[in-house]
A and B are shown apart, each in its own frame.
Chain A
Amino acid sequence: MDLQDRDESKRRRREETLARRLGEALDQMDARNAGHCPDGEILAAYAERALSLSETEKWESHFSTCARCRKILMVLAASTDARLAEKEVARLGELVAATRGPLEVTGKFAGRSRPWFADWRMRWLAPALSAAAVLAVWFALRPPWRAPSRNTPEALIAQAPKEEAPPSAAPQEADRLSKVTPQQNEEAQPAPPTERYSANQQALNAPMEALKKGRADGGNALDKVSPNADEAKSSLQQSEKLLAPVNGREMQPAAIPSGPASPAKAHAETEASAGAQSNAAVAAAVPGSVRTEKSGNAIGTPAAADKQAGSTQQAAGAPAVPAPSPQAAARQRSIQGFAALKAAAPTLIQATAPYGSTVWRFGKGGRIERSADAGETWVSQTSPIQEDWLAGVAVSDTVCWAAGSNSAIARTIDGEHWERVVPPAMAAGADAKLPDWTAITARDAQSATITERDGRKFATADGGKTWQPQ
């Protein structure tokens, strides 16, 4: 055993020794032999994994010796469409600032903000610290799980309603993005049983309060949702200030840099960026928007939403509650009110164009509506089929597909007129029952894949003229 330990220790020591020298060796490898740096398109395609295998290998060979390209890739990766947490932003700034100029290449320690040996040691300590942190979290969370009083229905009812969700949900999400430890999260949300409630339920509860407060509170909610509160606030202010339409104006190239952004775009930007972080945050941040409906994109599937609402309502109305406090009663009223609101709202499927402000929504009986301003106003469109739509996908501002019950499939390629698409004949069951399409994905006006309720998939690459089982 001792011998094995000694061997292991020796191997570790050798790896440590080599690891120390690796950094220096790589640092001094000559990038001039790796050829010219790639242009922006190659970097962007690499970031999107759109290069072929041979190209990827070729450019990774260059990246391994080119600090400049690695920095650009890092900056590119860190400045993705999703908004960054403050810690990530700070780290990104450090990375950019740490980029060394040619003179610094000769200096071995130039640009390093801390002793290299210390950094190296910290890297080996990281797994141990992580394990310790996990243990600490486990011990911290363990007692509440076993506490019998926390598992009673009374506790559930008292804690389930998230009336205070709008002010708290967003900071919790911000904390999560900032890598706050679970202990801190527990402090912010002390009741462990609430973990049983999914993010969807928080999203369902959050808009209730947001709706009650009205649109005036939207700015405050945005403050909490966006890592960059000022930016989000200014975006909202800008979108409210610039309500005048811009579509008709003549754009002169010289005036382009100073041209204001479209309010619809600003609105969509707010929704998109917040949506990338948290559905609950979106619900809190955009009161009164189309996302307060039971949109599959915004709050999860309608079925899941109904299920959650049902369970919430059932918990609120449980007879085991002995004389609820005024606060609990208020929360219960909120839940019932929101449940009534949800029941009144029609079930709609929403499809948003990848970029732009065009949104479609689909409903029962062939209902199709289109919004060109990110959901502010809706225009009804003529459906070629009067079946219930179950799924939709927008490829662009003008191309959209919809699929639904009884084998209904439709498509628009001009954004205005819908045409029926002939479904795959082989999809019909042995009992001649027409299939229900529960999901659809599309790449363009020609290529789409539909999914039947039983999981079978069919794809077309010619606009629905022919279908192939997947």
Chain B
Amino acid sequence: MPKDSYLASLEQFLAQYERLAAVLQAVTICARWELPQEVLAEGLRRSAEKRFAGAQPDSSELENYLKSLHLEDLALACACSHGIDKAWEFFVDHFREDLRHAASAMLRASGRADDARAEELADSLYAELYGVRSGADSRRRSLFEYFHGRSKLSTWLRAVLAQRQVDLFRTSGKTVSLEAEMEKETPRELAGRTESVPADPEREKYLGRLDKALSAALAGLTPRDRMILACYYVDQLTLAEIGRLLREHESTVSRSLDRIRRAIRESVTEALQRKTAAGNGRPAEPPLDAAQVELAFEYAVEDWPFDLSRALSVSDPAAERPEE
């Protein structure tokens, strides 16, 4: 953030937008919390500073952004962060049950759920929401300071809670027994001990090209399409679950999956039928004919599971480009 930016400090922000800040304060419920105007103004400034990190938005852009915020929730968060008792009382009365309900939903059926644990998880946030003293100035820093009004306060609280819960499981997942590690041996490794490697010398070459073509096809997808694929094939979510996550109907997700699969198949087939340029220490490769493409797909069926990391590790986007 440049030093001369009007978002760099509260004084500069108020000098430019004092009237707007006053208007926004008037439409919120700040009066109920007896929240000083400069506290909400600081919350607005921090929100804009984070949103336009390093950039210098024009007045209308900034005004539209500030008006789009959940101002009442932001005012409540500012008041709680400021340590106003009435705001805290309101927050506890109105959000405690929601938090506990969300915690209970996250814990239940994972074998760790009971009312006490849900309450413990939900209440674990309160200390941080109130704030702990840290840093050189020993200033109390509340978790509310990280709320900038871009979502509802209740959604933000659930997101923070979900982060905690998922990270808790990831941490506990680091402890893996030796037996579990032994069980991780892939079928491919096991198969390698008992079965002989196929004799076709072209097999690895075809598979390598198919893997690279697949990587290129994946890279060519939109982020949203990749996310749908990841949800479906990696996380193994159902269409309904993906639909809920993306706020789309499951039939829309189903159609998207069909479209993406078809696009990948066409892209991979085209890539295999093209001559690739030399690069990365590799010679140029001739195009595959229809029979060879068919063979590549046959080998891919047999080569399950496979290790794409070898293809990704040597993947060079330049090498994927067709020869001009």
A47-B155, A48-B155 as given contacts; A14 in contact with B269, CB under 8 Å: yes
Contact A93 B159 (CB under 8 A): no
Instruction: Please measure, in the bound complex, the distance between the C-alpha atom of A262 and the C-alpha atom of B115, giving whole angstroms.
Output: 18
Partner of A22, one of B89, B161, B264: B264
Contact B27 A444 (CB under 8 A): yes
Q: List CB contacts (< 8 Å) of B194-251 with chain A.
A: 211, 214-215, 218, 222-224, 226-227, 229-237, 241, 244-245, 247
> Could you jot down 30 A-B contacts, CB within 8 Å?
A10-B294, A14-B265, A15-B264, A18-B214, A19-B261, A23-B233, A25-B215, A26-B218, A28-B309, A30-B312, A44-B159, A50-B151, A60-B223, A65-B226, A70-B230, A70-B234, A74-B235, A91-B241, A94-B109, A96-B110, A97-B111, A101-B169, A101-B173, A104-B176, A117-B304, A119-B236, A228-B104, A228-B108, A261-B93, A446-B27
A41-B151, A68-B170, A96-B169 as given contacts; A78 in contact with B235, CB under 8 Å: no
Contact A41 B159 (CB under 8 A): yes
Partner of A396, one of B29, B237, B245: B29
* Contact of A89 with B by CB under 8 A: yes
* Contact of A79 with B by CB under 8 A: yes
The 8 closest A-B pairs by CB, nearest first: A101-B173, A93-B109, A23-B233, A64-B226, A61-B223, A44-B151, A93-B110, A60-B223
* Contact of B101 with A by CB under 8 A: yes
Specify which chain B residues have a CB less than 8 angstroms from the CB of A90 in the assembled complex: 108-109
Specify which chain B residues have a CB less than 8 angstroms from the CB of A13 in the assembled complex: 297, 301
Contact B130 A256 (CB under 8 A): yes
Q: List CB contacts (< 8 Å) of B108-129 with chain A.
A: 108-111, 113, 115, 123, 126-127
Partner of B163, one of A72, A78, A93, A264: A72
* Contact of B273 with A by CB under 8 A: no
Contact B93 A262 (CB under 8 A): yes
Name the distance in Å between A191's Cβ and chain B's nearest Cβ.
30
Contact B235 A71 (CB under 8 A): yes
Contact B155 A21 (CB under 8 A): no
* Contact of B20 with A by CB under 8 A: no
* Contact of B321 with A by CB under 8 A: no
Contact A104 B218 (CB under 8 A): no
**Size class of A's contact patch?**
35 or more
* Contact of A35 with B by CB under 8 A: no
Contact A25 B308 (CB under 8 A): yes
Contact B150 A67 (CB under 8 A): no
* Contact of A433 with B by CB under 8 A: no
A21-B306, A26-B234, A44-B156 as given contacts; A73 in contact with B110, CB under 8 Å: no
Q: By CB atoms of chain A within 10 A, which of B127, B234, B261 has the most? A: B234
A15-B262, A26-B230 as given contacts; A93 in contact with B113, CB under 8 Å: yes
Contact B241 A74 (CB under 8 A): yes
Name the distance in Å between A181's Cβ and chain B's nearest Cβ.
15
* Contact of A20 with B by CB under 8 A: yes
Specify which chain A residues have a CB less than 8 angstroms from the CB of B172 in the assembled complex: 101
